[in-house]
Structure 1
Amino acid sequence: MYKYIYIFLLMSVLLFSKCTNNVKTNEMKTQLGYFDQINEIPDSVQVEGITIKNLFKNQILAHQSGYDSTLITDKVYLSHQAFWDNCYGMIFGEENSHKFQTTKGMIAWNRTLYPENKSMFDERAKVLIELKLDSLLKTNLKKFNDLVPYKVESTIGILFTPLIGIGFGGCNKDQFCIELNNTDYEIAYLIEKGLPHELNHLAYEPLRGDDPKFQTALGQVLDEGFACYFAWKFFEGEMTKYEAVSNMSESDWNWFVQNEKAIFEKLQEYFDDESGDNPILRNDKLKLFPDAPQGLAYWLGFRIVEKYVENHGENSWKDIYELNIEDVLDKSGYDEYISEL
């Protein structure tokens, strides 16, 4: 009898061991499949003068087997060095500059950042895989270049960072980034819908060098409003106006429309302010309109551009690139429109 019990227990142990090994094998295959998918993402996508570097790819692959610091050095740091050195290396203060301006610093934080945040980082990377990142970027970059009458040159890195500070932006045209682990953003929306908005800044802002109003509140209103209008134009038929303006809700949009006359009349006096501390840009703090939703400046800029196009023809939005800021407001007829409300 004991012999049969022994045989039964032995078979149970062997069966359990086999099942456990199968589970581990399946987990390894799943993980291997994930790394294979990551590896298939190109290091970069370039369409004309715009290059998007998928730095996150090698930040993940560096941990495929142990830790490959050469991938971090060659494919993450040196690949977008101007950004790491001159943007992140500056904006986070001298005490953090070594993390971004040296090979040693980059290797150090990349050693622990992915393992410590693996679940969240993998989840965000899988979103990009599902979006078919390569073809999506190529399609949108080509469409952008076809629409915009001015050629843009820029380098943008999609990356993970130990310090969050930019979201989607940068310090100059070759020092841009998309912070993939910035939880303030819904990453699928940012990559799929937010890119044209940001690229329009890169087309518009270099043309404002001699514009006396560019640093004013009105300048920022039109810069953001034009980027919102361009995004709406880019996705026309697929994106509502309110979604194009800070991804606001329809009820938020309606609040602004219902208060449009008061908004313009009360904010006009701040158009020339260059301090940044005014109700147009800081209504959240100054509360000139305490019930206003977020996105006041973006919405106002969108409406001015929209009125300009209504008065000058469907393709006249392209005029905005060349016109001085004050001329856009004057020729938009927005002031006259408000006076008739």
Structure 2
Amino acid sequence: MNRYKNSTIQERNIILIDSIYKPYRHLWEGYLGDENAFTRWLNETAFRELTDYNDKAFGIDLLKLNEHLKNTAMAMDKLTGHRPKGRWYIFYGPKWTNLGGFPDGSMLIDLANKLNNKFENIVRAFPHELNHQIFSTAPRSKNQVLSRVLDEGFACYVSHIYYNSKYTILSELGYTAEEYNSCVKYDNDIFNLFMEHYASPTDKTASDFANRSYRFNDKYPAALGYYIGFKIVENYVHANGKESWKDIYELTPEIVLKSSK
């Protein structure tokens, strides 16, 4: 981008669509949108923030980041018995998430996001995100809501094990103490809410349960599905044994839910 900052908008649009958008269409379409959305973001945001990107580039050692990712993937393989598989994209984007992924197991790190201001902040989430990649190969379910909450909650649970409880459960869930305590207080109500939406056929409902900006009501925190999924896994392990969490990689979400009661 530095090379084209003084080019005309038309010139750089053509060049960057051919060199950045098209070769990584899966990433940009899934995260940002079509070519028009891409060029609009480039010209209205990215080039205006290019100095910030350059400054950040000096603070994040990409070789060290890749090495840490590789080592964490090997450690997750040893811990879970399953090797993470999938592509990782590390880039400067629209800052909509710090780390995230797609249903096929592809993962992304948006270095422009404010949470990715330190090396430690980025690698802290690696076990969580790598578990998403492993779980993406598990038996599938047509129930989008159950699949999404279990995917998120299971990633939190395995990260907690990976770090040997170094971080609190509320930290793994991404909640404040107040938010976590409200989940505990209204646990029954939350699961009743979950069952009300359990059979929803829409992807939006599934996304609402994982959305950090969406609340079902003022009593519950956003991203409520993280808590629900974590509790399903926790209850499954309580019912089936300490190491039984490893079974979840081989089971359908429906069986996990049924066996957690």
TM superposition score normalised by structure 1: 0.60
What is the match of residue 229 of structure 1?
157
Alignment match of 2:146 (pick from 211, 218, 222): 218
Shift of 1:203: 0.9
Task: Give SS of 1:332's match.
Answer: coil
- Given residue 50 of structure 2, which amino acid in structure 1 is its aligned partner? N
User: Is 1:85 matched with 2:25?
Assistant: yes
Tell me if structure 1 keeps the 8 A contact 2:65–2:119: no
| Alignment partners' CA distance in 2, 1:277 and 1:89 | 18
Unaligned runs of 5+ in 1: 1-58, 64-72, 100-108, 334-341
Give the whole-Å Cα distance in 2 for the aligned partners of 1:268 and 1:283: 20
- Aligned length in residues: 244
Equivalences for residues 49-68 of structure 1 within 5 A: none
The change in CA–CA distance for 1:136 and 1:171 in structure 2 (over 3 A counts) is: closer
How far does residue 129 in structure 1 lie from its aligned partner after superposition? 3.7
Higher Cα radius of gyration: 1
State how far apart, in whole Å, the 1-side matches of 2:204 and 2:47 are: 38
Higher relative contact order (CA 8 A, sep 6+): 2
1:167 CA drift (Å): 4.0
Shift of 1:191: 1.8
Structure 2-normalised TM-score?
A: 0.76
Contact 1:155-1:173 within 8 A present in 2 as well: no
**Cα 1:255/1:113, change in 2 over 3 Å:** closer
CA change 1:284–1:130 in 2 (3 A) is closer
Give the superposition deviation at 1:85: 2.3
What is the CA deviation profile of residues 180-237 of structure 1, one whole-angstrom value per residue up to 9, with x for unaligned ones? 012365554542211211111111122233x333x2x122111111111111111123
Residue in 2 that maps onto 1:158? 90
Residue deviations 1:238-288 (CA, integer Å, cap 9, x gap): 11111111x22223211211111221123312111122454962796563x
Q: 1:221 to 1:86 in 2, by over 3 A?
A: closer
1:65-117 Cα offsets, whole Å, 9 max, x none, are: xxxxxxxx9xxx58x975x22331564224246x5xxxxxxxxx69x957953
Q: After superposition, what is the alpha-carbon deviation per residue over 1:278-329, rounded to whole angstroms, capped at 9, x for unaligned?
A: 4962796563x31222231101110110111122122111111111111111
Instruction: Give the drift of 1:123.
Output: 4.7
Q: Is the 8 A contact 2:129 2:155 kept in 1?
A: yes
| CA offsets 1:47-77 (integer angstroms, 9 cap, x no match) | xxxxxxxxxxxx78x79xxxxxxxxx9xxx5
Secondary structure class of the residue paired with 2:164:
coil
What residue is the counterpart of 2:253 in the other structure?
325
**What is the identity percentage for the equivalent residue pairs of Structure 1 and Structure 2?**
26
Secondary structure (helix, strand or coil) at the match of 1:169 reads strand
Unaligned runs of 5+ in 2: 5-14
Q: Is this contact kept in 2: 1:278–1:286, CA < 8 A?
A: no
| Alignment of 1:139 onto 2:68 | no
2:7 corresponds to: none
Deviation >6 Å, runs of 4+: none
Residues 2-33 of structure 1: CA deviation (Å, up to 9, x unaligned): xxxxxxxxxxxxxxxxxxxxxxxxxxxxxxxx
User: Pairwise mapping of residues 1-341 of structure 1 onto structure 2 (< 5 A)?
Assistant: 82=23, 84-89=24-29, 91-96=32-37, 116-118=49-51, 120-129=52-61, 132-161=64-93, 163-165=94-96, 167-171=98-102, 173=104, 175-183=106-114, 187-188=118-119, 190-209=121-140, 211-213=141-143, 215=144, 217-245=145-173, 247-278=174-205, 281=209, 287=216, 289-333=217-261
For 2:124 and 2:100, locate their aligned partners in 1 and report how far apart those are by CA, in whole Å.
Answer: 15
SS in structure 1 of the partner of residue 232 of structure 2 = helix
Q: Quickly say closer, same or farther: Cα 1:331–1:188, change in 2 above 3 A.
A: same
Question: Residues of 2 paired with 1:285 and 1:168: CA distance?
Answer: 18
How far residue 159 of structure 1 moved from its aligned partner, in angstroms, is 1.3
Cα offsets for 1:145-170 (capped at 9, x unmatched): 21222223222121123x44554234
Matches of 1:196 and 1:320, distance apart in 2 = 16
* Distance in 1, Cα, partners of 2:239 & 2:231: 12
Structure 1 residues 297 and 171: alpha-carbon distance in aligned structure 2, compared to 1, 3 A threshold: closer
**What letter matches 1:143 in structure 2?**
A
Partners of 2:101 and 2:180 in 1: how far apart?
A: 29
More displaced 10-residue stretch of structure 1: 227-236 or 263-272: 263-272
Q: Alignment partner of 2:178: what SS?
A: helix
Q: Point out the more displaced range, 272-281 or 247-256.
A: 272-281
